[in-house]
């Protein structure tokens, strides 16, 4: 399983570094996008607010393996603010598969994408309520990891030469979770209070789903 993403990366890099005549025989694309994402959590303690909207950015690249079917890699970052707690940061990546059926007339394209990936999650430290004395205190940062299945539908348009602009509606389903950030019993952020035991913060839940809307540009042939 580990060799497939590596092979895709090597093949994609070789394709774009090859001389022009050789590169013309290889169908590939590299794109970058940015937008807004909202994560939805489940299993959080009572009274914990839902995450807000935050920025997301993604880089992806593919090689054509069949007509209409491309396989490659993605790397994404998103920032997920959480009221009354530390904002979370996610860095994920993995396998990316893109299907482009010929449903629209040129220069338009409609596509669907999926894959499988994983990454790192971090909740920043913050100053929050303790419901003791003192009433507020600094809480620690916590980290963890997750596995995810990305899904997306998008529309693209050639705008000149090899460049395309695209808009994409995406979703990410969390399928496995690791580390303190997702440990409801022992992983909450903590604050050490004067003459008091360690105070745990409420559990903020697991990131079961995320919804995003992005726009981007790609270099494709």
Domain edges within the chain: 3-220
For the chain, percent of residues with pLDDT exceeding 70: 84
- CATH fold of 3-220 reads Porin (2.40.160)
- Decide if pLDDT at 28 tops 70: yes
pLDDT per residue as tens digits for the range 173-193: 999 999 999 998 877 788 877
pLDDT single digits (tens) 130-163: 766 677 788 889 999 999 999 999 999 999 889 9
| Greater pLDDT, 181 or 195 | 181
Structure confidence at residue 14 as a pLDDT band (50, 70, 90): very low
pLDDT band, very low/low/confident/very high, at 47 (cuts 50, 70, 90): confident
Residue-wise DSSP of 26-81? S-EEEEEEEEEEEEEEESPPTTPPPP-EEEEEEEEEEEEEETTEEEEEEEEEEEE-
Q: Are 75 and 93 in contact (CB under 8 A)?
A: yes
Quick check: 11 pLDDT over 90? no
């Amino acid at each position: 399983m580990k060799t497939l993403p590596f092979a895709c990366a090597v093949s994609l890099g070789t394709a774009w570094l090859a001389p022009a005549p050789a590169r013309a025989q290889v169908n590939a694309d590299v794109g970058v996008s940015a937008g807004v994402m909202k994560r939805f959590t489940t299993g959080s303690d009572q009274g914990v607010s839902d995450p807000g909207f935050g920025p997301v950015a993604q880089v992806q690249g593919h090689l054509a393996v069949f007509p209409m079917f491309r396989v490659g890699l993605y790397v994404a970052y998103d920032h997920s603010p959480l009221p009354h707690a530390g904002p979370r940061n996610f860095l994920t990546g993995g396998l990316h598969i893109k299907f482009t059926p010929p449903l629209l007339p040129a220069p338009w394209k409609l596509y669907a994408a999926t894959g499988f990936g994983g990454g790192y999650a971090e909740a920043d430290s913050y100053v929050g309520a303790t419901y003791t004395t003192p009433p507020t205190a600094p809480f620690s940062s916590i980290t963890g990891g997750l596995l995810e299945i990305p899904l997306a539908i998008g529309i693209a348009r050639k705008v000149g030469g090899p460049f395309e602009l695209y808009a994409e509606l995406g979703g990410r389903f969390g399928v496995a979770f690791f580390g303190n950030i997702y440990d409801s019993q022992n992983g909450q952020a903590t604050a050490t209070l004067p003459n008091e035991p360690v105070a745990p913060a409420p559990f903020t839940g697991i990131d079961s789903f995320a919804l995003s809307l992005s726009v981007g540009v790609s270099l494709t042939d």
